[in-house]
Amino acid sequence: MNLHRETAAEIGRGLAARRYSSVEVTRHFLARIERANPALNAFVTVTAERALADAKRADARLARGEGGPLTGVPVAHKDIFCTTGILTSCGSRMLANFVAPYDATVVERLDAAGMVLLGKTNMDEFAMGSSNETSFYGPVKNPWDTACVPGGSSGGSAAAVASRIAPVATGTDTGGSIRQPGALTGLTGFKPTYGRVSRYGMIAFASSLDQAGVLAQSAEDAALVLGAMAGHDARDSTSVAAPVPDYAAGLGKPVKGLKIGIIREFFGAGLEAETGAAVRAAIEAFRGEGATVEELSLPNLPLSVPTYYVVAPAECSSNLSRFDGVRFGHRCKDPRDLLDLYRRSRGEGFGAEVKRRIMTGTYVLSAGYYDAYYLKAQKVRSLINDDFRRAFAKVDVLMGPTAPTPAFAIGAKTDDPILMYLNDIYTIGANLAGLPAVSVPCGLAGGLPVGLQVIGPHFAEERLLAVAHAWQRATDWHRRMPEGYA
Amino acid sequence: MSAAANGWETVIGLEIHAQLATHSKIFSASATAYGAPPNAQASLVDLGYPGTLPVLNREAVRMAVKFGLAIGASVAPRSVFARKNYFYPDLPKGYQISQYELPVVARGEVGILLEDGTRKTVGVTRAHLEEDAGKSLHEGLGRMSGIDLNRAGTPLLEIVSEPDLRSAREAVAYMKKIHTLVRYLEICDGNMQEGSFRCDANVSVRRAGVTKLGTRCEIKNLNSFRFVERAINHEVQRQVDLIEGGGKVVQETRLYDPDRDETRPMRSKEEANDYRYFPDPDLLPLEIDADFVADVRAGLPELPDAKATRFAREHGLSDYDAGVLTASRELAAYYEAVAAGAGEPKLAANWVMGELSGFLNRDVLEIGASPVGAAALAGMLKRIVDGTISGKLAKDVFEAMWSEGKDADAVIAERGLRQITDTGAIETAIRDVMAANPGHLADYRAGKDKLFGFFVGQVMKATAGKANPAQVNELLRKLLAGP
């Protein structure tokens, strides 16, 4: 069977047409996970039993003529989403014993849509990383070249879908953690507008930036899954009450007359040549289809990385205070007293990158430094916001590369945090401004996938999906699979 | 107090924590009832579970606005929740959600009336919403400590006064006023034993005439009016002694030990230094529109000051009595019902503040639990007014009503306490007394006026106290004077 060559949407149609059952589909993917996962390390937990039970339930639903386009379609969740009764590790030793007592809203909604849970995917520890090398469970390998990283922090989800051991997976994007791994593994990585998808049950890294999204084979898959998980949730005060459009129905909208803005600042030094060429060629192709292209300057955008590395650590230093060895998670052996309990539980439970960010964040919020760092960063953040707002007064979408280079070798940047942080130089802006953005495969550089990033104004998910879909109807980059996994 | 006499001035500001009487917690749906088994009222949100998020309780906001309006403060159209970061086992998230730079209520004032009749206006700097922490339990657990998170997430309104208070008495009067107010508004049950209403006092001293504030100390967690007064007095004396002895006050947090009647510094571990406040990204800024405020304003009850003014004006009561009778909404309602029923406001006020309050205190009862209801008391007062019983006998009737739960008429009838107003019967009693005491009678008639009281006593004794005193006086004067 070549079920894995079908997109999630195609599997959904096959199930609806009764060409195969969800149990068959699920068995197929479970078998592929079993074969490929040991080398890729994409999954932290495989929930085979649960998957088959889900599949049976989905088949029953389909047999009754019920269910929707995702009923019976398998999915993998990033291990940042709480799942009842299943280890939810967040890629950390701190939570290596944490079995969540409840479901995240995203999990609950995809469950309600009838999706089948294959398991939980590996990730950078607490979503802090751009290469999936900070995970307590070890690095994830890029199926396109197992010597390379898949990007991060949603690296496990990216590797799982790229290797087609899962048809689609969820991810979270705080500074590029869906789009960058999407670009590095040849996937459609979609980050919605901040507030579009509930954060309830998603373990917080930086609350004002975190947003759940999808790693998918196609814009159509992203539209279906996003549509199922989006929408207001009373349990998340930052979730937005605006109605969710039928994203799948909006896919066919033409891109003729689309006004594209090219972000000048994204094409400077640091952009690898072949990557830049592939992205430029893609934008030219849109022009050929009748879009207008205009180069724009967003002068404050180059400040994204330093701004982000103040705001995100500040929030994370506070968000991660709850991991104190008292109620859940890692607790050190035989604490002498309270301070010893805190010091050792946290010292042992957190990895180096997480500690680095907690310390940075604690520093920038400290008395005497708050104004110079945190407050200043918030001001720059609003300037970046203004840059985007001015740009969207002129154009419909902004385009540029997703990442400065294709996938790099495992270990290449682990000794230099700054070099690692620069991986997110093109993606962070959309998080700071809360904008929706998508990365779509647009070529290869040195045999490795390159991503084209499309950023839209707030709540322009439909437009971004239509642009991505138009591109995918004209090209087949998204259909290419890494050798050995086809 | 000696401090003032010695040329020192005391400066006090209070931070009062009033637990808001919402059914559920400020950021979760858990119940807030007191006394549940440990951790029975702690949800995943209260436990700070990974992935959980706070959702603001609208009722808590309504209560904060109510308070703001009641003290004539401005209600902020936009206020911000901030995180106060520190590690402690009873603080599940490692931060407390509070309000820092932009509180919901800013700048109001309350008037206080001191026992000597002095009025004073005390500024309220701000009032903000925040969540309470849990409790650490150290007893009966060996070397371990227990954590009870039932209280974690309970809504609090922190009411911060200006440093306008100049003595422990003023501080207590102010705290009592706020206590009255929050109960009038029905936003706090005011139960101090259960910790629903408590305060921290910032205390400093300075030489009389000096305008610069002295270094202050904060005394934490005072949960009774008596402790507030004693702790402040102790702390003032300590600071004065320290400075007069050539020392300096160090800014620090202290705890009051009621058993030893002294304050002592908290261990440094109990004192966090840098809370790293920043706006909580999980909560949007709290926006309150004019309609909401108008709606809350429309629902405000008559406030204690307005009620006291009305009682003074309409009932002819003194300001002090009006203040006492409006100390709680229940007491004021009780008094008003008695006054209306008896038709004699002053008599009603005297009885409510006198006998009734005395019995309530003796039996440690709240006004709502009084065995003698307002209608029953009014019924008895009517019997005084119409002369059925004397004021003196009324006290016996009241006691019987209190212990037996009967109304005044039943007690009067049962015990034959009806006043003797029959002139003939009283005259007979007087003549008997005169006949039995010829010597006293002769002395009286010889000019020993003081003996009049003796004859009154004898007549009352002879009538078992039931003779109408006014009539006794009148008839005695006439008959003693001679034929």
pLDDT in tens, B234-243: 999 999 999 9
> Chain B interface, mutation test: which of A322, A339, A345, A346, most B Cβ atoms within 10 Å?
A322
Evaluate whether residue B281 is within a structural domain: no
* Averaged confidence pLDDT in chain A: 97
Q: In this prediction, what percent of chain A has a pLDDT beyond 70?
A: 100
Task: List, in sequence order, every residue forming a beta bridge with B206; answer none if it has no partner.
Answer: B9
The answer on pLDDT for B346 being more than 80 is yes
Chain A residue numbers touching B50 (CB-CB < 8 A):
82, 88, 90, 95, 98, 100, 203-204, 322-323, 328-329
Residues B463 and B395 in one domain: no
Is B93 within 8 Å of A321 when comparing Cβ atoms? Answer: yes
Q: If you measure CA to CA, which chain A residue comes closest to B84?
A: A318
Total structural domains within chain A: 1
- Determine the pLDDT at residue A418: 85
Evaluate whether residue B325 is within a structural domain: yes
- Determine the pLDDT at residue A280: 97
Task: List, in sequence order, every residue forming a beta bridge with B10; answer none if it has no partner.
Answer: B205
Is A365 within 8 Å of B278 when comparing Cβ atoms? Answer: yes
d(CA A122, CA A43): 5
Residue given tokens 């009862």 in the structure block: B365
Q: What are phi and psi for residue B57, nearest 5 degrees?
A: -80, 115
The answer on pLDDT for B3 being more than 80 is no
- Which structural domain, as residue segments, surrounds residue A147? 3-254+457-479
d(CA A365, CA B434): 94
> Chain B interface, mutation test: which of A99, A327, A375, most B Cβ atoms within 10 Å?
A327
Handedness of CA A307, A309, A310, A315 (dihedral sign): positive
The answer on pLDDT for A463 being more than 90 is yes
Evaluate whether residue A185 is within a structural domain: yes
Residues B6 and B121 in one domain: yes
Is A237 within 8 Å of B54 when comparing Cβ atoms? Answer: yes
Burial class (CB in 10 A: 0-12, 13-18, 19+), A428: buried
Residues in chain B: 483
Q: CATH code at A180? A: 3.90.1300.10
In this prediction, residues A451-474 reach a mean pLDDT of 97
DSSP-derived pairing of the beta strands B105-113 and B135-137: unpaired
Whether chain A has a CB inside 8 Å of the CB on B87: the answer is yes
Residues B429 and B404 in one domain: no
Give A471→chain B minimum CA distance, Å. 36
Evaluate whether residue A448 is within a structural domain: no
Evaluate whether residue A424 is within a structural domain: no
Give B191→chain A minimum CA distance, Å. 30
d(CA A177, CA A427): 9
Chain B residue numbers touching A236 (CB-CB < 8 A):
53, 55
CA-to-CA separations, B340 to A91, A283, B344, in angstroms, rounded: 73, 86, 7
The answer on pLDDT for B400 being more than 60 is yes
More confident residue, B440 or A89: A89
Chain A residue numbers touching B93 (CB-CB < 8 A):
321-322
Q: Look at residue A90 and give its three-state secondary structure.
A: coil
pLDDT in tens, A310-358: 999 999 999 999 999 999 999 999 999 999 999 999 999 999 999 999 9
DSSP codes joined into one string, B148-160: E-SSTT-EEEEEE
pLDDT in tens, A430-446: 999 999 999 999 999 99
Evaluate whether residue A9 is within a structural domain: yes
Evaluate whether residue B277 is within a structural domain: no
Active-site hit among A92, A130, A135, A177: A177
Burial class (CB in 10 A: 0-12, 13-18, 19+), B243: middle
The answer on pLDDT for B271 being more than 60 is no
pLDDT in tens, A130-161: 999 999 999 999 999 999 999 999 999 999 99
Evaluate whether residue A30 is within a structural domain: yes
Active-site hit among A78, A120, A191, A413: A78
Q: If you measure CA to CA, which chain A residue comes closest to B286?
A: A237
DSSP-derived pairing of the beta strands B217-222 and B197-207: antiparallel
pLDDT in tens, B166-207: 999 999 999 999 999 999 999 999 999 999 999 999 999 999
Residues B252 and B388 in one domain: no
Residues B465 and B375 in one domain: no
Active site residue A177: yes
pLDDT in tens, A231-278: 999 999 999 999 999 999 999 988 789 999 999 999 988 899 999 999
pLDDT in tens, A276-318: 999 999 999 999 999 999 999 999 999 999 999 999 999 999 9
> Chain A interface, mutation test: which of B55, B282, B283, B286, most A Cβ atoms within 10 Å?
B282
Q: If you measure CA to CA, which chain A residue comes closest to B96?
A: A318
Total structural domains within chain B: 3
In this prediction, residues B390-407 reach a mean pLDDT of 90
Q: Given B270, B291, B324, which residue is the final one in a domain?
A: B270
In this prediction, residues A446-468 reach a mean pLDDT of 98
DSSP-derived pairing of the beta strands B119-131 and B155-161: antiparallel
- Determine the pLDDT at residue B117: 81
DSSP 8-state secondary structure symbol assigned to residue A142: B
Evaluate whether residue B8 is within a structural domain: yes
Residues B202 and B264 in one domain: yes
Task: List, in sequence order, every residue forming a beta bridge with A162; answer none if it has no partner.
Answer: none
Whether chain B has a CB inside 8 Å of the CB on A200: the answer is yes
CA angle (A227, A91, A9) in 5-degree steps: 25
The answer on pLDDT for B1 being more than 50 is no
In this prediction, residues B448-456 reach a mean pLDDT of 90
The answer on pLDDT for A366 being more than 70 is yes
Evaluate whether residue B406 is within a structural domain: yes
Q: CATH code at B433? A: 1.10.10.410
Give B47→chain A minimum CA distance, Å. 8
ipTM above 0.90, yes or no: yes
Evaluate whether residue A400 is within a structural domain: no
d(CA B163, CA B216): 11
In this prediction, residues A29-51 reach a mean pLDDT of 98
Angle formed by the axes of helices A155-162 and A22-40, nearest 10°? 120
- Which structural domain, as residue segments, surrounds residue B252? 2-270
The answer on pLDDT for A188 being more than 90 is yes
- Determine the pLDDT at residue B4: 58
Cβ-contact B42, B149 below 8 angstroms:
yes
The answer on pLDDT for B269 being more than 60 is no
d(CA B42, CA B137): 16
d(CA A212, CA A171): 6
CA nearest B111: which of B169, B174, B44? B174
Q: Given B370, B389, B415, which residue is the final one in a domain?
A: B415
In this prediction, residues A196-220 reach a mean pLDDT of 98
Evaluate whether residue B289 is within a structural domain: no
- Determine the pLDDT at residue A254: 82
The answer on pLDDT for A369 being more than 90 is yes
d(CA B65, CA A360): 38
- Determine the pLDDT at residue B68: 98
Residues B38 and B178 in one domain: yes
Structural tokens at position B362: 């003796």
- Determine the pLDDT at residue B267: 65
pLDDT in tens, B102-155: 999 999 999 998 878 889 999 999 999 999 999 988 888 887 889 999 999 999
Alpha helices by DSSP H, listed for B416-451, are 423-436, 438-445
DSSP E strand boundaries for B20-118? 74-75, 78-79, 81-85, 95-99, 105-113
DSSP E strand boundaries for B169-316? 197-207, 217-222, 252-257, 262-265, 278-279, 286-287
Is B44 within 8 Å of A204 when comparing Cβ atoms? Answer: no
Evaluate whether residue B286 is within a structural domain: no
Whether chain A has a CB inside 8 Å of the CB on B190: the answer is no
Active site residue A78: yes
Evaluate whether residue A240 is within a structural domain: yes
CA nearest A159: which of A117, A110, A122? A122
> Taking the model in full, what pTM does it have?
0.90
Residues B251 and B354 in one domain: no
pLDDT in tens, A160-170: 999 999 999 99
Evaluate whether residue A184 is within a structural domain: yes
* Averaged confidence pLDDT in chain B: 92
Burial class (CB in 10 A: 0-12, 13-18, 19+), A174: buried
CA nearest A30: which of A48, A12, A57? A48
- Determine the pLDDT at residue B415: 82
pLDDT bracket for residue A399 (50, 70, 90): very high
d(CA A175, CA A424): 6
The answer on pLDDT for B268 being more than 60 is no
Q: Which of residues 423-462 of B touch A (CB under 8 A)?
A: none
Residues B50 and B192 in one domain: yes
Give A56→chain B minimum CA distance, Å. 29
| Amino acid type, A132 | N
Letter string b/e over residues A326-363, b meaning 16 or more CB atoms within 10 A of that residue's CB: bbbbbbbeeeeebeebbebbbeebbbebbbebbebbbb
Residues in chain A: 486
| Amino acid type, A86 | I
Chain B residue numbers touching A323 (CB-CB < 8 A):
50
